[in-house]
Amino acid sequence: MKVKFILNGKPVELDVDPRETLIDTLRLRLKVKSVKRGCERGECGSCTVLINGNPVISCILLTIQINGAEITTVEGLVGDILLEKLAKNFIDNGAIQCGFCTPGILLTAYAGIKQGKIKKSEDVKEYVNNLCRCTGYVKIIEAIAKTADEVWGHER
């Protein structure tokens, strides 16, 4: 089945098996490896991608469902000011350990801050539910809250 979509700003046209999940299209066909496979039930969040700016679980989404959409992964946000701010705060705060959950969490936090859903620390716990086994989340929450404050802090 033919699908057309925009991946990280570039148009993509593919003929995919309709049973193909988005994560497989991204990882196996398009070699986008930042999208990680951590479970097959949509429980862990490691496979999060942004579709039209919203974070979505890609391991239980079929590629035919995203025809015409704009897909963003961390590879596509290199140079983006908000992502750079987020990444810097993650790095400076020591919020990265094994790194497997990092791309998914960055995308979720990015979308949350951009949409104004994440403006302070409490919002992080509400909107970022990706699983992390290493960090205990504390430094991740701090890094995201700091970034959110840098973006939205003037409102207070």
Partner 1 sequence: MSVEFMFIGKRTPRKDAEAKVTGMLKYTYDLEVPGMLIGRIVRSPYAFADIRRIDVSEAVKMGAIVVTPSDIPQKPYNPRLVSINEVTFKDTYILTYKPRYLGEPVAAVAASSEELAQKAAECVKIEFEKIYKPILDPLEAMKPESPRIHEKIMKGDKWIEVENNIAARLDYDEGDVNRGFEEADVIVERTFKTGKRYHMQLEPKAVLVVLEPGGKLTIYTTTQTIHNTRILISQLFDIPESRINVVRVPIGGSFGSSIQTNYLVPIAVALALKAKKPVKIAYTREEDILDHSNFVFHFKIKIGAKKNGVFAAAEFINILDVGAHQVQPYPLLGTSLGWFISMYKWKNIRYRGIAVYTNKVPGCALRGYGAPEVQWAVETLVDEIAEKLGIDPIDLRLKNYVGKGEIFWGQGPTVKSIIKSDGVPELLLKGKEIIRWSERGHPSEKKGRFRRGIGVGRGFHTSGAGGPISGEVIDYTGCILKLNEDGTLDYITALQDHGGGTLDAHVKIIAEELGIPPELVNIATASTETTPYDVCTHASRGTYVGGECARRAAQIVKQKILEAAIRIIGRVVNPEALRIGYDKELKQAVVYVEGTDIKLTLAEIARTSWQRNWGTIGAFVSYRATSAPPSFTVYYVEVEVDTWTGKVKPIRVVAGADVGTPINPDMVEGQLHGGFVMAWGMAFTENTAYDPLTGEIMGRGLITDYKIPTAADVPTPEEFTVIIAKTYEPTGPFGAKGLGEAAMNPAVAAILNAVYNAIGIRFYELPVTPDKIIEALKEKGELEW
Partner 2 sequence: MMYVIPEDIEFIVPVDLREALELVNKLNNVKALAGGTDLVVDLKTGRFKPKYVVYIGGLKELRYIRDNNGSLHIGAVTTIQEILDSKIIAEKAPLLRAAAEKFAYWQIRNTATIGGNLCNASPAADTAPPLLVYEAIIKAESVRGSRLISIREFFKEPRQTALERDELVTEIIVPYKDLENSGYSYFKVGRRRGYDISLVAVACAVKVEGGVISDVRLALNSVAPIPVRAINVEKTLIGKKPSLEIIEESSKLVVYDISPISDVRAPIEYRQYMAKLLTREALLEALKKTGVM
For partner 1, the closer CB: 68 or 81: 81
For partner 1, the closer CB: 15 or 68: 15
Residue 73 to residue 33: CA distance in whole angstroms: 10
82 binds partner 2 (CB under 8 A): no
103 binds partner 2 (CB under 8 A): no
Residue 116 to residue 53: CA distance in whole angstroms: 12
Q: What is the DSSP-derived secondary structure letter of residue 25?
A: I
Which pair of structure tokens corresponds to residue 49?
């991608």
Closest CA to 37 of 104, 90, 105: 104
Kindly identify the residues of this chain, within the stretch 45-104, that bind partner 1 according to CB under 8 A: 46, 73-75, 78, 87, 90-103
The minimum distance between CB 107 and partner 1, in angstroms, equals 9
Closest CA to 105 of 119, 95, 117: 95
Per-position x/- string for 25-44, each x denoting binding to partner 2 as judged by CB under 8 A, each - no binding: ---------------xxx--
| Cα 75 to the center of its chain, rounded Å | 10
113 binds partner 1 (CB under 8 A): no
Other C-beta atoms lying within 10 Å of the C-beta of residue 42: 13
What are the Cα distances from residue 144, in Å, to 93, 96, 150?
10, 12, 10
- The item of partner 2, partner 1, none sharing an interface with residue 154, based on CB under 5 to 8 Å by kind, is none
- Contacting positions for partner 1 (CB under 8 A): 24, 27, 31-41, 43-44, 46, 73-75, 78, 87, 90-103, 106, 121-122, 124-126, 128-142, 145
- Contacting positions for partner 2 (CB under 8 A): 1, 18-19, 21, 40-42, 45, 48, 51, 54-57, 60-62, 64-65, 67, 108, 112, 117, 127-129
